[in-house]
Each structure stands twice: as structure tokens, then as C-alpha cells.
Amino acid sequence: MAVLEADARVLSGDEIAVTCATGELSEVTGERQAISLGDAAGQAHVLLRTLVVTLAGGGSGEFLQSYDSLFGDHLSEWGVGGFRGETGFKDRNVLNCPDGVIRRLMDIFFGFSRSDDLTPGRRATVALCGVSVALMVYNDSIPVVRALNYLELEDRLDRSGIGTSAAQQRAALASTDVEVVTSPWIDGSPSTSLARALTGDRAFESFDVAHCNLIGPGSVAVARYARRNDIPLVLHAHVTREDFAESFRGSNLLAKPLGRYLKWFYSQADLVLCPSEYTRSVLESYPVDAPIRTITNGVDFSALEGCAELRAEYRDRYDLDGMVVFAVGSVFERKGLTTFCELAQRTEYDYAWFGTYDTGPHGSSTVKYWTANPPENVQFTGWVDDKRGAFAAGDVFLFPTKVENQGIVVLEAMACGKAVVLRDIPVFEEFFTDGVDCLKCSTDEEFEEALARLDADPDLRERLGENAKETAAEHSLERVGDELSAIYDDLL
């Protein structure tokens, strides 16, 4: 193909085949503007984030050196290398970018993705096919990172805080240039992947960063794969020994050995994420031998829109009246179940706990007792299909939990503008201020007094609720997405 003339002009967004492009990178603003491409001795004026990819016909390639004559510092983190192929082409410019980008380029040039070729160490082979050289001008439309965001047992955890956190991470990343993969397994099945591995085929999907949200065998397999293949590994510490206790039958006995396992598991990471400084201090006490960084779980305001419109419906459904004291989430003693019920026995408000509870062999004796023998003014509703209805029906969110890593449900109650009453535990000191966006209590008497104050003073309830909305807004999914995207970039 001929070199484009020095004065040749094309529109930004066009795809142009050329034999070479050199010179300084300069920014062109606006959309569909004319740009000029020079010959080998001239200038190439292109948009920031332009991709220069060499695609040589036939043969495989070998990287020779780092080469960055066009991009300067703008894309140097992706790396540009020369190659020498069997066809005799030498020292062309090849973009050694993440698999997600290569996949998109394959789609653009050939209309399909060769996923079998998108493995570490074979990126050059993927690039070296097709036309001689291609210069493509884009406006940030191609993902920079292909990230695995994995939650094993996802179908069983969709009602849990961990499930909510993982879903919110993915929603947050949707507004970034990160391409999210939710399963590490080829065809989405661990059993199929195991069978493929036994026959020598690839078992894992292609990704540039591995981010795991749980601690089970699937996450261990991903961690080992990532370490063997030099893929950055992020482990999200939703589970600690401390918050595992008082969750189900036998959990207190298992908490100590769990701590030893968590120390080993989290120490494999290139980076451990956790939702609070409190949790960071817990992990450091094990001690976890890996860098630890805090990031909020966030709160999804869009999932709570229209909450107020459901108030009458849900209050009628559960026959609730007056100032309703409520909780949302799975029923555990760790969440303050006994305190919740004993407060109900001493007061006359309607109480409702919206959430699942286990009365089977795994359920704790405390949960079984209170759900079978609730005070007259307490309802345990079980699962509620629309959590907006739960937040709409209640007036005062009571959360006498003993241990939390952050408390997504607290942020959700605040996002709905509810007055919140919390147990005064260390983690809440980081996020919430007594008397401003919540009331904090340490004893049963203080909880009872706080409820009495809120019942007698509707203006106080309203003021706390409005301030709580502002606090929740500080934990937006936009913030979560920006922080996660930056974390992935830093690791690469």
C-alpha cells in the first residue's frame, strides 16, 4: 500500500490503511474533524487515545524491543513493541494492549473474535494477520482493561450484602472504559472448564485483571491461575473472622480456623480491597501479607427510585401503623436480633424485620427462638421481592448490629431519607455522625431513649433523614466506578 501523501486529509473516526505513521502526537478536539497524516518523514496529527496497530499478513511475530515513537507518554503503559515475522516484515509498530482491546480490534477488522488466541504470550500472534498497517482514530470508545469481576455461588448470594456489593461494582464499572467479565470459566461452567483442562484445552476466559469477591474454591482456582499467568489479582475482603461469628449454627466454632484460612487466602493478592479502615485494621491483625486499600461498597440510588410511592401499599400489606421501627436484611444474631426484639417488648411501636431467616439445620438457636416466638408487635416478613417497599413502609431504621465491615443496608436506608439508629461500633465512626445523620447508642436504655425522641419529634426524624441522604450521596456508584477503574490501571 502506498504511503499517504503529506497533505492527505481524513475525518477523525475513519479507519485508514497506511504503511507507516510517525511524528508527534497532537490533540484534535471536536467530532469528525479533518486530520492530516504525513509520510515516514512527516507528521501524524491524530486524536488522543489513537491506536496504531500493525497487522502483517501471515506468520507469527516476535517482540524485539519497546518502541514508542508516536504516542509519547499517553499510551506508553500499554507498551509498543517491534516484531520480526516470517514474511520478512521488520520493525513495524505493534500495539501490545490488553486482551479486551485486541478482541475489539479483531471484531472491527474481521467481524469476529478469535478467543482461543487471546491468551497471555500470544497477543503478537493475534495482531499479525490481515492488512499491512492500520491507523485507527477513536474517541475513547475501546475498553482499556478487560476485568474479571467474579462472585462464586452468585445465584445463592443475590440476596446477600456480598451479592449487592458485587452487583454494584459491575453497575459502577458500566460507566467506565473497563470491560467486565463475570465468569472466569469458558462457557461459564466450572465443570465444563475442568473437563477442558483435563484434555489440555483452555479452561479460563481471557482477562487482564482478576477481581474476586468471595473466598471459596472457585476463587482459589482463579487466584492460582492469575498468579501463574502474571495477571494482577484483586481480592475483595467481604468476609472476616469477626463478622462470620454469630451468623449461623456453629459459626462461632468455625470463626477461629476461618481466620487462619483468610490470612492465607488474602495474602495471595496483589491488592486486597475492603470497605472500611476498621476492616483494614482487622485484616492487618491476622496479619494479611498484601497491600490493603479501602473502597466504599457504595449505594445504588437508581435501585431505590420510587420508594416513597410504595409506602401505603406495604404498610397495608403488613398492617403497620404509627412510627414503624424496621430492619432490612438477613436475620442474624450478629445483626442485633435479640436487642431488636427486647426493645419491641419494652415499647409499643410496630416493628418489622424485612429479610430471610433460616429455621433449618443451619439456623442458629437464637434466630429459631425469636422467629418462632416474636413479640406481639414484631413481624418477620421473610423475603420481600421489592426492597423499596421495605424502606418505604418503615420510619426509623434500627440497626443494633454488633460487627459490620461497612453496612450497605445503612447506606440504602439513608438514601431513602430514613432516620437511622445505630449501635455505636468502631466502623460507623468512619462514616456517620451522631446527632447529624443518625443516632448512635451503646446500651438498651439508650436505644429505647432514641426511639422515644424520634417518636416525639417528627422534625428530628426529618432532619436526620435529609442529612442522611447527603451522607449516602458521598458513596455514589460513580465514585466506586472511578476508583475501581483507577485501581485496575495502577495494577497494570
Here the contacts of 8-15 (C-beta below 8 Å, separation 24 or greater) are 8/36, 8/37, 9/34, 9/35, 9/36, 10/34, 10/35, 10/37, 10/137, 11/35, 12/46, 12/47, 12/137, 12/139, 13/137, 13/138, 13/139, 14/137, 15/108, 15/134, 15/135, 15/136, 15/137
pLDDT under 50: residue ranges of the chain:
1-8, 10, 12-32, 35-142
Edge to edge, the sheet with strand 15-17 lists 15-17, 133-136, 51-54
At 373, which amino acid appears?
N
The whole-angstrom separation of Cα 119 and Cα 108 is 19
Cα distances from 182 to residues 93, 112, 152, 153, in angstroms, run 33, 21, 10, 12
On whether residue 1 sits in a domain, the answer given is no
Bridge partners of 216, per DSSP, are none
Residues 294 and 306 in one domain: no
On whether residue 3 sits in a domain, the answer given is no
On whether residue 151 sits in a domain, the answer given is yes
Residues 293 and 159 in one domain: yes
* CATH number for the domain harbouring residue 333: 3.40.50.2000
Angle at 157 between CA 151 and CA 162, to 5 degrees: 65
**Confidence at residue 160, expressed as pLDDT on a 0 to 100 scale:** 84
Residue 117, classed as helix, strand or coil, is helix
On whether residue 4 sits in a domain, the answer given is no
Residues 362 and 249 in one domain: no
| Domain final position from 136, 167, 187 | 136
On whether residue 327 sits in a domain, the answer given is yes
On whether residue 294 sits in a domain, the answer given is yes
Residues 49 and 124 in one domain: yes
The residue range of the domain holding 20 is: 9-136
Angle at 301 between CA 427 and CA 173, to 5 degrees: 85
Residues 115 and 226 in one domain: no
Residues 75 and 98 in one domain: yes
**Confidence at residue 248, expressed as pLDDT on a 0 to 100 scale:** 66
pTM for the predicted model, two decimal places: 0.73
Residues 242 and 376 in one domain: no
The whole-angstrom separation of Cα 347 and Cα 334 is 22
The alpha-helical segments, DSSP class H, found in 357-417 are: 365-372, 387-393, 408-415
The alpha-helical segments, DSSP class H, found in 42-151 are: 99-110, 123-127
* 213-238: b (≥16 Cβ within 10 Å) or e: bbbeebbbbbbebbeeeebbbbbbbb
What total number of domains does the chain contain? 3
The whole-angstrom separation of Cα 130 and Cα 47 is 24
Q: E strand or H helix at 63, and its extent? A: strand 63-66
Burial classification of residue 85, based on how many CB atoms lie within 10 Å of its CB (0-12 exposed, 13-18 middle, 19 or more buried):
buried
| Domain final position from 136, 166, 201 | 136
At 302, which amino acid appears?
S
What does DSSP say about strands 324-328 and 350-354: parallel, antiparallel, or unpaired?
parallel
Residues 311 and 460 in one domain: yes
Residues 119 and 170 in one domain: no
What does DSSP say about strands 350-354 and 378-382: parallel, antiparallel, or unpaired?
parallel
Cα distances from 131 to residues 57, 109, 134, 243, 377, in angstroms, run 6, 9, 7, 57, 75
Q: What is the DSSP letter of 26?
A: -
**Confidence at residue 184, expressed as pLDDT on a 0 to 100 scale:** 95
On whether residue 345 sits in a domain, the answer given is yes
Residues 115 and 237 in one domain: no
On whether residue 2 sits in a domain, the answer given is no
Angle at 201 between CA 195 and CA 202, to 5 degrees: 95
| Domain final position from 91, 110, 136 | 136
What does DSSP say about strands 34-36 and 9-11: parallel, antiparallel, or unpaired?
antiparallel
Residues 208 and 308 in one domain: no
Residues 273 and 314 in one domain: no
